[in-house]
Amino acid sequence: MTDTTHNRDQVADFDAFFAEQNEPRFGATLRLYGREYVLPTSLPLLFTLQMERVQNSTEPDDIRRLLASLFGPAALDEWADHGMTDRQLGVVLLWSAANAREPGCLSISEAVELYDEQEAAKEEGGEGKAPHPTPKTIADVSGKQS
């Protein structure tokens, strides 16, 4: 017979476990409008949850909350003040999501190509061009497995 009782003195110590993993916390760096942003080595939980919740949203507040977990709360407004276009935002988000998971896996030019391919596919599918990138577009790339 198997003993199914648990010793209450044994604690599953995830703090110690995660510390032993010695996972680097910061990875790829990008420079945008004179400021450097250091991406985490994996997407923050808040980013992932927000992405699921607002997957098809085009609302600026949804995009702002999503970006805050990677770039800080003022990033979208700062970028908009510098005149960032929807295409530029899409490219930055595609590059960032991919490189947070695996630094160096996607170049800027590859991100541009991927963004343009996704936009062309939308136009061919009759959906028309999106006014700006959505969390769904970001999710498609960030879920890319190597």
pLDDT tens across the length of the chain (146 residues): 445 555 667 889 988 888 777 666 667 899 999 999 998 877 777 777 777 777 677 787 888 888 888 898 899 999 999 999 989 998 998 899 888 878 889 999 999 999 999 899 988 875 544 445 555 555 555 554 43
From first CA to last CA, the distance across the chain in angstroms is 44
pLDDT at position 144:
47
Reported as half-sphere exposure (CB side, CA atoms, 13 A), residue 54 has a value of 20
pLDDT at position 37:
92
Q: How far apart are CA 42 and CA 23, in angstroms?
A: 10
Q: How far apart are CA 70 and CA 97, in angstroms?
A: 9
Q: Which pTM does this prediction carry?
A: 0.67
SS3 137: helix
Give the contacts of 85 (CB within 8 A, at least 6 positions apart): none
